[in-house]
A and B are shown apart, each in its own frame.
Chain A
Amino acid sequence: MKSLFKTFKKAAPAAAFTLALAGGAVLQGCSGGPGEGSATAAGVASDAAQAVYVAPGKHDEYYSFLSGGFNGQMSVYGLPSGRLLKIIPVFTQHGENGYGYNEESKAMLMTSHGFVPWDDLHHPKLSRTDGMTDGRWLFANGNNTPRVARVDLTTFETVEIMEIPNSAGNHCSPYPTDNNEYVIAGTRFSVPLDMKGATADVSMNEYADKFRGSISFIKVDQEKGDMELDFQILVPGFDYDLANGGKGPSSDWVFFTTYNTEQAGTLKELGASQNDRDYLAAVNWKLAAKYAAEGKAREMPANYYHNKMDKDTHIAKSTIKKTVRYLLPEECPGMMYLIPAPKSPHGIDVDPSGEHMVVSGKLAATIPVFSFSKMQEAIKNKSFDGEINGIPVFKYESVLKAEVPEPGLGPLHTEFDGKGNAYTSMFVSSEVVKWKLSDFTVVDRMPVYYSVGHLMIPGGDTKNPDGKYLVAMNKITKDRYLPTGPELAHSAQLIDISGEKMRMLLDFPTVAEPHYAQAIKADKVAPNSVKFYDLAKNTHPHAVKKEADASVTRQGNVVRVKMTAIRSHMTPDNIEGVQVGDTVLFHVTNLEQDWDVPHGFAVMGANTAETLIMPGATQTLRWVPKKAGVFPFYCTDFCSALHQEMQGYIRVSPKGSNVPITFSTGKKKPSA
């Protein structure tokens, strides 16, 4: 075994390099003939149209949630049709509905760096009960300014965003444990910590000495889903890439891939690719939580935002947290181990049994599969090969179960079908490769177009996958659709994995760049979907629940318009007495108590987006008129036959004018 490892060490880099070059050639070969659509329709099932056809008025079998990558949002698609159902704004302002623009939701995007209206959302993860997706919440990471968000799947709205301190590039995130005990988030970029809540002002030359990584353990309220940063582990200054929790026997553990164990601070493309092996970090989260609870955790100053949307006021509030607890692995024996893995690994995926940890090393020639039981054995026998920062490093062969030979080029990520098979995406050779967990041999290949990043099987990361479909998320689109200039939609492909051979069913364009996805049977989510908010439960401080209570009041230079909207008018719709330079707050309450009747609100010249108000809710548009005159406002969502008539006027007089505040709808003023 020792010699095997040595051989591997020698051969792997050369093999990977050669293969990568070859892969490039294959890619170029594929992107041939323009005009008639894509180069090939190879592998498309003859009954593909029937397999993905969801008749008008019928519902899809699955909800799938595809991350939007650099748009900071989440896209919801129906499967198998590939129909786009919704874009859920998470980390990015959304002019479409006023998220991050209206006064109620601005606080959701507050961070210790101020208002950050954009992020890079990579990984959605569904909440879990007993190791299975439960359809209650969806967690998602913000990579650029480290944040973790929670989306409520009864409303499909982002209800919570927590900033992660001592992290940079929150890529290795968010990974829920089997019962959402914790959502775990690792840092992609290690940074020098000043241990006072910020990064230290040090030279990049000091990377190896000063830079550290962190893994955050976010506690989740079992009933409400509210998050709370319980503690962090300060880990060696590597890049932490992806993670996944164990299952069954390994359910107390979570595994992280790392790269740049060379600790290069520049040109990481080369600097982080020098070692023949990086590490798979194994953390016993239950033991970590125990250490933290038993007083092993130290505390340091911190400065991070925790933003929550109140479900009754519909107003987001920020809390600024000032401390964080942390553990040091060197002080916590048995909590963390390092497993040598082929250089710069990406995906780490644990099979449904919880025994196999599959590492997809994008530069590796094989796919190593580690054994959880062998790892337990190795811990017992202390089969270590030294340690790093007090963290024991296993001998490769003492934990290795097998290597999948010749899987393809550029393995990135693996999921499982629950029938003894694994499916790995091959970025460089643009294919999905099916292999057996019993003998670790490749049994099928499906070309995908082009350069697949992640793939997803509904429940494919849980202990009981639903092995019917696989979605490949491709990074390069080129000629797959009608061209749309230099910027193209990314492409997803739906593959039938119910039989022995994979069958290509469907291409569908995606929004921005999905990095990962989740899917769940529709009947776990659809029955709980909220149709509208109960007006009686609306406790927004400026809500008005009937037209007679609508008002316009001035306090100094702030004018509050408490307005109602109902088909097909706004009350009041004539407003006078506003002056140039006033801050006008339109608090609009949608009085409707019916399904699918939002009203939108916009006013001419407002330096913000419209706000889209759901039935029963109140939202606020802030407007500071800069010049005198009459300004129309109107409903922006086609609500009814007389939607076009749903409009009004606000008169703005010069500063110091004696026009009194008056307001009305129809001929007479609304009686009090």
Chain B
Amino acid sequence: MKAYQKVLMIIAALSLGLLFLFPMWKIYLTAPQYPEGLEMHIWVNQIAGNTAGAIQNFNILNHYIGMEPIHADSFAELKIMPYIVIFFMVTGVLIAFIGKRKLVLSWTVLLMIAGAVGILDFYLWLEKFGTNLDPTAPIKVPGMTYVPPLLGHKTLLNFEALSLPAWGSFGIFLAITISALVYFLSRKKEAKHNAKKVMV
């Protein structure tokens, strides 16, 4: 691997750092009486909102339909994920210094798997919160569940929910794209090298 490719690999690893600066996902809610909107921000290590009281407000609204309150403490993922991200960042930088293509590939694939698992996990949580409703809830609409959309828009009673990835996820996207690019760019040379070997 050439020096610039190593630099790119370091950038790929460090771009995961965006996960600590920005939320991964945002769920936007609006309702007639919430013209200013209500946002839930899912971070790699916390669940927050656009205001200090946002999560409390989500929980107040959700308790009428019997949804379990959302507390950051209830998600073991939020404790584990930061270490996983740090692991990828450290190994990514190490791989850049080692400069082995195969390691780059493994790192990229592993990161893609980790991302996919993360999204699946997120989906399962949404499913769990949206369907596992307290039977004593004050508001019960027959047949109604409240699974927010994983991506895109959905109407939930008086709320319009919109779910979109945020800058943190863009960090993962960058890491995968750049590391894949590094793998691709370093390919030609080694292919030539291999070809020579064959000729010999």
Contact = CB atoms under 8 A, between A and B. Distances in A.
Interface of A: 532, 534, 536, 566-568, 591-595, 640-642, 645
A642 B64 contact: yes
A593 B139 contact: no
Interface in B39-67: 51-53, 56-57, 60, 64
A643 to B, nearest CB: 12
Nearest to A534: B52
Contacts of A640: 60, 64
B124 to A, nearest CB: 29
- Interface residue SS majority, chain B: loop
A642 B56 contact: no
Given A595-B36, A641-B139, A642-B138, A567 B60 contact: yes
A594 B138 contact: no
A595 B35 CA distance: 11
Interface string B54-86: 001100100010000000000000000000000
Contact of A593 (B36, B56, B64): B56
Nearest to B63: A567
A568 B64 CA distance: 9
Interface of B: 36, 51-53, 56-57, 60, 64, 138-139
B132 to A, nearest CB: 20
Nearest to A641: B64
Given A534-B52, A593-B53, A593-B57, 13 more contacts: A536-B52, A567-B60, A568-B64, A591-B56, A592-B56, A592-B60, A593-B51, A593-B52, A594-B56, A640-B64, A641-B139, A642-B138, A645-B138
A642 B60 CA distance: 12
A642 B139 CA distance: 10
8 contacts: A532-B53, A534-B52, A592-B56, A593-B51, A593-B57, A594-B60, A641-B139, A645-B138
A536 B52 CA distance: 10
Contacts of B64: 568, 640-642
Given A567-B60, A642-B64, A592 B138 contact: no
B60 A566 contact: yes
A56 to B, nearest CB: 13
Nearest to B33: A596
- Interface residue SS majority, chain A: loop
A592 B139 contact: no
Contacts of A566: 60
Contacts of A642: 64, 138
A641 B137 CA distance: 13
Contacts of B60: 566-567, 592, 594, 640
A415 to B, nearest CB: 37
A532 B51 CA distance: 11
B60 to A, nearest CB: 5
Contacts of A641: 64, 138-139
A134 B56 CA distance: 35
With most chain A CB atoms within 10 A of its CB, the pick from B36, B52, B53, B64 is: B53
B45 to A, nearest CB: 21
B177 to A, nearest CB: 39
Contacts of B53: 532, 592-594
Contacts of A591: 56
A425 B60 CA distance: 54
Nearest to A642: B138
A595 to B, nearest CB: 7
Contacts of A645: 138
Nearest to A536: B52
| In the complex, the 7 A-B pairs of residues with the closest C-beta atoms, listed nearest first | A593-B53, A594-B57, A567-B60, A594-B53, A593-B56, A642-B138, A593-B52
A639 to B, nearest CB: 10
A645 B139 CA distance: 13
B37 to A, nearest CB: 11
With most chain B CB atoms within 10 A of its CB, the pick from A532, A536, A566, A593 is: A593
Contacts of B56: 591-594
A576 B78 CA distance: 43
Contacts of B139: 641
Nearest to A567: B60
B185 to A, nearest CB: 51
A236 to B, nearest CB: 57
Contacts of A536: 52
A567 B53 CA distance: 14
Contacts of B138: 641-642, 645
Contacts of B52: 534, 536, 593
A534 B64 CA distance: 24
Nearest to B36: A595
B72 to A, nearest CB: 16
B110 to A, nearest CB: 41
A591 B139 CA distance: 22
Nearest to B56: A593
Nearest to B138: A642
A387 B51 CA distance: 65
A567 B60 CA distance: 7
A234 to B, nearest CB: 52
Nearest to B60: A567
Nearest to A645: B138
Contacts of A567: 60
With most chain A CB atoms within 10 A of its CB, the pick from B60, B138, B139 is: B60
